[in-house]
Amino acid sequence: EAQVTQNPRYLITVTGKKLTVTCSQNMNHEYMSWYRQDPGLGLRQIYYSMNVEVTDKGDVPEGYKVSRKEKRNFPLILESPSPNQTSLYFCASSFVPPREANEKLFFGSGTQLSVL
């Protein structure tokens, strides 16, 4: 089944304790992206990757890191989480960046992160 898989589904941590949220897609997609969803703010892009070893900042990259060593995986790393990073996180992928807006995004089921 074609899907984007995120883990964990729920995560509670404390301020300053490094964590990684994993994202994997089995559709051979080039483009992958991370979003955070907050009430009243919708989805905001954190980082994106156009292919292996090619990543760039989105709208809200502060406090996050990513890597794209393999095409299928795009982990999100919080080196020193803070309470303002409590949010619902989504990973998404598509065949190519929405260059001509013809490609739809496929989303994972989300990771609810709470930083105490």
Partner 1 sequence: AQSVAQPEDQVNVAEGNPLTVKCTYSVSGNPYLFWYVQYPNRGLQFLLKYITGDNLVKGSYGFEAEFNKSQTSFHLKKPSALVSDSALYFCAVRDVMNTGFQKLVFGTGTRLLVSP
Is the Cα dihedral 94, 34, 79, 7 positive or negative? negative
Range 52-81, binding partner 1 (CB under 8 A): 56, 58
| 43: contact with partner 1 by CB under 8 A | yes
Q: What are phi and psi of 24, to 5 degrees?
A: -140, 140
Nearer to partner 1, 16 or 86 (CB): 86
- Determine if 107 is a binding residue for partner 1 (CB under 8 A): yes
* Greatest extent of the chain over all pairs of C-alpha atoms, in Å: 42
Place of tokens 């089921």: 109
Using the minimum distance from each CB to partner 1, give the nearer residue, 28 or 109.
109
The verdict on 40 binding partner 1 (CB under 8 A) reads yes
Among 7, 20, 45, 114, binds partner 1 (CB under 8 A): 45
φ, ψ of residue 69 to 5 degrees: the values are -85, -25
